[in-house]
Copies of this chain bind each other. A is one copy, B any other.
Amino acid sequence: MRWSEIGGVPCSVARALSVVGDRWVMLVLREAFLGTRRFEDFHERVGASRRVLAERLAGLVEDGVLARVRYSERPDRFEYRLTDKGRDLHTVLTALRVWGDRWMADDQGPPVTVVHRTCGAAMDPVMVCPDCRDEIDPRDLTAVVHRGPVRG
């Protein structure tokens, strides 16, 4: 199977990855969450070539994750803003960051601390069950598959 076919597979993980299953895309999104909006700033902070960056930004606009918005008319200038669909990816970025902090940190410790402004805590978000509010242990989950043959 090729990745171009994956959109038709009934698996929400695969479908999500058809949009964000690329490392440069994820770093572009990291920057967008940190407030970056302009091509030159993305270019400086992401580390991708201009060609790769332009291609990834265009893809994210096409997928509705970023919106390309004009902010100057003379000359024409555009910036890239997270849409609601894009902002909802914060859970994916957070999960990657927390796992990277825990399992891939060097001896200098985590490079970033995240503060929850509404309560003031320096913290790493945790995943809980919305019903009982207990923290999720993956061994306590059962996946009920409604359609085959590909799962997820």
With A126-B130, A127-B126 as known contacts, state yes or no: A151 contacts B95, CB within 8 Å: no
Chain A at the B interface: mostly helix, strand, loop or mixed?
Answer: mixed
Number of copies: 2
1/0 per position for A112-141, CB-CB distance to B under 8 A?
Answer: 111111110111111111111110101111
Chain B residues whose CB sits within 8 angstroms of the CB of A18 once the complex forms = 23, 104
Q: What's the minimum C-beta distance from A88 to chain B, rounded to whole angstroms? A: 6
- A71 adjacent to chain B (CB < 8 Å): no
In Å, the complex CA distance between A112 and B144 comes to: 6
Most buried by B among A102, A121, A136, A140: A136
In Å, the complex CA distance between A101 and B16 comes to: 8
